[in-house]
């Protein structure tokens, strides 16, 4: 009998301090060395602490960093494709006299987020990072641009979470311990995860419902966090999905919850990373579409699917979809794998066309997006990131 998968690496990491321990650590804060971190880093410290990034227990040390960069695995051979790192400048290291063995407080906007037990302080090559993770050193790539702005040194070690970052979407937040309990309560033995950074169009609904025909439940898990201009705003995505689920999905067949992390736009590597994260939430399957986590023309349309052949030990089953669209002759949504038609018979759910129409206040064709969903989006004055 199939059961939910074990967390990546074999156990669900928990690096959250108990209330009593938090009080003790907060009492010690005045004497601790403090390092300011960004919001993105602070949120990812939470992701580590709650097991979303299992088996990581903190930002990578140099051994794991090099292994992830060149082998797409941690030093212990567990698949891992995106470096989760803490960058600190040489000046900060010098001024604060940081060294291996120190215990420091990670601070975001004056708030203590975590304490870090420093195991490693090391240099790295930003161009090597970019070339291996993003397959380009072009600074027009948003991921590369961010890496080039990182500080010049990295710190590795284990963290303990003191407090979280303000979360305006708490009602949509479920952590792996909670999703695993929820899926079991629903009697789901197979769960398909769906990653998105967009409001749902008809193509998304097609792939989700197709995957639901051979799994027990659907876990819709939008990425909430920093995105590029032109992307849908977080609250728009969530409200649009609520509308779709409430009207077009069987009750108790779909769960909507957020993943708070930034998009890296790392294409194939990020597809593996996204699959690992959904495995930690309890998913047995993961949907990978065309150009997953891509941007511009940096990756081939199906590179994010092809990379899965390099990870037979991933522990989650990918479900691949090629191109999908509405076919006037087939009278419904189909994929290029099953439909023989082309040309004027095909209506593709183009994100570009949908955005242009919504910006003008127009409803996209019903073959592209459900009118109810479009109306929810149009109820927002500014539904897109500027």
Q: Cis ω on the peptide bond leading into residue 55 (within 30° of 0)?
A: yes
Structure tokens given for 272? 């593996």
Cα–Cα distance, 274 to 272 (Å, whole number): 5
Cα–Cα distance, 182 to 24 (Å, whole number): 33
Bridge partners of residue 286, in order along the sequence = 193, 318
Cα–Cα distance, 49 to 158 (Å, whole number): 10
162's CB contacts (< 8 A; 6+ apart) are 17, 22, 25, 26, 105, 112, 113, 114, 115
Could you report how far apart the first and last alpha carbons of the chain are, in Å? Answer: 49
Q: Which of 198, 260, 264, 355 is catalytic?
A: 198
Q: Are 118 and 98 in contact (CB under 8 A)?
A: yes
Q: Which of 15, 197, 355, 370 is catalytic?
A: 197
Q: What is the DSSP letter of 300?
A: -
Bridge partners of residue 347, in order along the sequence = 326
* Residue 197 known to be catalytic: yes
Q: What is the DSSP string of 329-372?
A: TTTEEEETTT----GGGEE---HHHHHHHHHTTPPPPTTTS-HH
Where would I find the beta strands (DSSP E) of the chain?
Answer: 33-36, 87-88, 103-108, 111-123, 153-161, 191-196, 217-224, 254-256, 259-260, 285-288, 317-320, 324-327, 332-335, 346-347
Would you please indicate which residues are annotated as catalytic (active-site) residues? 197-198
């Amino acid at each position: 009998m199939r059961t939910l998968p074990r967390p990546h690496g074999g156990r669900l990491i928990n690096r959250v301090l108990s209330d009593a321990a938090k009080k003790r650590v907060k009492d010690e804060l005045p004497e601790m060395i403090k390092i300011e971190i960004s919001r993105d880093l602070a949120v990812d410290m939470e992701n580590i602490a709650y097991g979303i990034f299992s088996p990581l227990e903190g930002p990578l040390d140099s051994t794991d960093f090099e292994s992830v960069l060149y082998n797409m695995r941690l030093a212990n051979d567990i698949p891992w494709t995106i470096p989760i790192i803490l960058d600190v400048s040489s000046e900060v290291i010098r001024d604060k006299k940081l060294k291996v063995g120190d215990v420091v407080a990670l601070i975001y906007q004056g708030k203590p987020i975590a304490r870090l037990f420093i195991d490693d302080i090391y240099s790295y090559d930003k161009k090597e990072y970019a070339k291996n993770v993003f397959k380009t050193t072009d600074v027009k790539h948003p991921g590369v641009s961010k890496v080039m702005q990182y500080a010049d040194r990295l710190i590795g070690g284990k963290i303990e979470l003191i407090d979280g970052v303000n979360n305006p979407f708490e009602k949509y937040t479920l952590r792996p311990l909670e999703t695993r309990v929820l899926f079991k309560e629903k009697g789901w033995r197979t769960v398909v995860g769906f990653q998105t950074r967009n409001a749902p169009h008809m193509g998304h609904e097609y792939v989700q419902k197709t995957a639901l025909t051979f799994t027990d439940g659907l876990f819709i898990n939008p990425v909430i966090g920093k995105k590029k201009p032109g992307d849908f705003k977080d609250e728009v995505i969530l409200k649009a999905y609520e509308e779709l689920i409430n009207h077009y999905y069987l009750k108790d067949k779909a769960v909507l919850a957020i993943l708070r992390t930034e998009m890296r736009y790392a294409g194939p590597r990020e597809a593996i990373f996204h699959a690992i994260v959904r495995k930690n939430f309890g998913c047995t399957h993961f949907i990978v579409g065309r150009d997953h986590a891509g941007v511009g023309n940096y990756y081939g349309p199906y590179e994010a699917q092809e990379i899965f052949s390099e990870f037979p030990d991933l522990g989650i089953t990918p479900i691949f979809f090629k191109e999908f669209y509405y076919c006037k002759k087939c009278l419904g949504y189909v994929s290029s794998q099953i439909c023989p038609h082309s040309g004027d018979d095909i209506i593709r759910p183009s994100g570009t066309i949908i955005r242009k129409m919504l910006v003008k206040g127009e409803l996209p064709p019903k073959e592209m997006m459900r009118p109810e969903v479009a109306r929810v989006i149009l109820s927002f004055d500014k539904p897109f990131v500027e």
